Chains A and B, each alone.
Chain A
């Protein structure tokens, strides 16, 4: 029997090909580097931070940053109103932000994907009901809805995370539903059906793995949005409560110092800004790398 013809280009392993497209986007690579730094700092906070985040030192209240007049180099970014080192608080705060992002994304993705799978696979009345509920959630301004939920559940970091997850839910449901609807009619799904696959196997083993690319991108962007939302809730006093060194809560405590101690307000804000930009750049790069239509060849 004739030997099958061989392809001319040598096959690239999945990761090498992914990295080729990802690394073309310089912004994405920079974002990735920043994110890894923040991750490292968060994990090894105990070793990296010069001081403890909660120890109050009455001698150094509202110290300006180390490079300005009156500052001390041990307190590089200055201190806040009760003498806590801002740099150390930011470093420990990174833990909270990353934790929030992780938990919110995990909750949103798992519930969103499940609901989206069901809506996209079964269509009909189930689909209509689910999508109308999602539309209702989407009709509310997201922050307002999160505020209301937290007000109902009680202020605190955990409740803030649950609220933000719920507000993010419709995006993942829509995304999954669209991907499922487009994959569902493809030949390989019908082939699995003809081989005798049941509903569960078709939904989770056959269709779902093929819907992951847009989900990964959306999850990355939701990560940064979660950090922003938690910071906003914290700023409004409805998220993490003081003395937790969460970046948004730090902003809330520093509101009154905008005029006389700019560093107490600015550095937490910059931390949020840099983290969110880094993750968004990464997410853009991921989308370009994972979307086959944008591929070079």
Chain B
């Protein structure tokens, strides 16, 4: 079965031109990353700032080209540096961003934001577009009355729902989610994660889920890839990575994540009383 997404040795270099005072520099943001994702599954990419995960997200979403390496979507090679994206390919991958407060155009109503992808890519009539947008709005848990409102009237969690709805308007095969719940409160995070799980079941979506929060990753991922300074230092199924991490960085990451369970608290209090 063809993978929905397959990456072979992707690299991305940024060339910073030199000036009178500085030498030219090349930043290797992504260094030879390979992975694949099957339909209906979630690949979680974990790493801290500067590890290249957002750069990788942009490559997968076909916003920026890779410097070298191959990327295949549904078995077709994609290289936006060489040829323009066809509308069919453009629709296959969509993205949801981290910051709910910058992700929606402040000057457009929710309905306009949702129908925009349809206006650009299809010949649907205005009524059909409105119906589809309304249906998607309800599917993400919002109501009809929200259709004509502006983004600033919504909370962070609601905006993220609209962003998810927008990403799904074109029926993509793959959804890239760049830290979609990091900026949300705990209770709202739970709602959005539930929504994502339901949508994945209903539409058989494939997710590439980027996060730095290991507890979220452990909850939703099927496969996990850990990135460090542009390289994939760990790659395997969720069970493998969490029960038996092989790379030192992965172990450090696990050790550093704060644990919110009763046993750890008891142990800490015991240590404190002994001291």
Contact = CB atoms under 8 A, between A and B. Distances in A.
A and B touch in the complex (CB under 8 A): yes
Given A190-B63, A194-B63, A195-B117, A210 B106 contact: yes
Contacts of B63: 190, 193-194
A296 interface: no
A2 interface: yes
B246 to A, nearest CB: 35
B87 A191 contact: no
Contacts of B94: 194-195
B102 A186 contact: yes
B220 interface: no
Query: Which of A1, A2, A7, A195 has most B Cβ within 10 Å?
Result: A195
B120 A194 contact: no
Nearest to B118: A195
Interface in B106-131: 106-108, 116-117, 120-121
A86 B104 CA distance: 55
A52 interface: no
Contact of B104 (A3, A188, A196): A188
Given A191-B163, A206-B105, A210-B107, A4 B99 contact: no
A243 interface: no
Contacts of A197: 116, 120
B45 to A, nearest CB: 18
B99 A187 contact: yes
A246 to B, nearest CB: 38
B90 A196 contact: yes
A192 B149 contact: no
Given A2-B141, A4-B161, A196 B105 contact: no
Interface in B66-83: none
Nearest to B107: A209
B95 interface: yes
> Residue among A14, A188, A190, A201 with the most chain B CB within 10 A?
A188
Contact of B170 (A186, A195, A206): A195
B97 A5 contact: no
Given A194-B63, A195-B166, A201 B120 contact: yes
A70 interface: no
A206 B119 CA distance: 14
A5 B157 contact: yes
A254 B48 CA distance: 74
8 contacts: A3-B141, A5-B155, A191-B97, A195-B116, A196-B90, A196-B117, A196-B120, A209-B107
The 3 closest A-B CB pairs, nearest first, are A195-B117, A209-B107, A11-B153
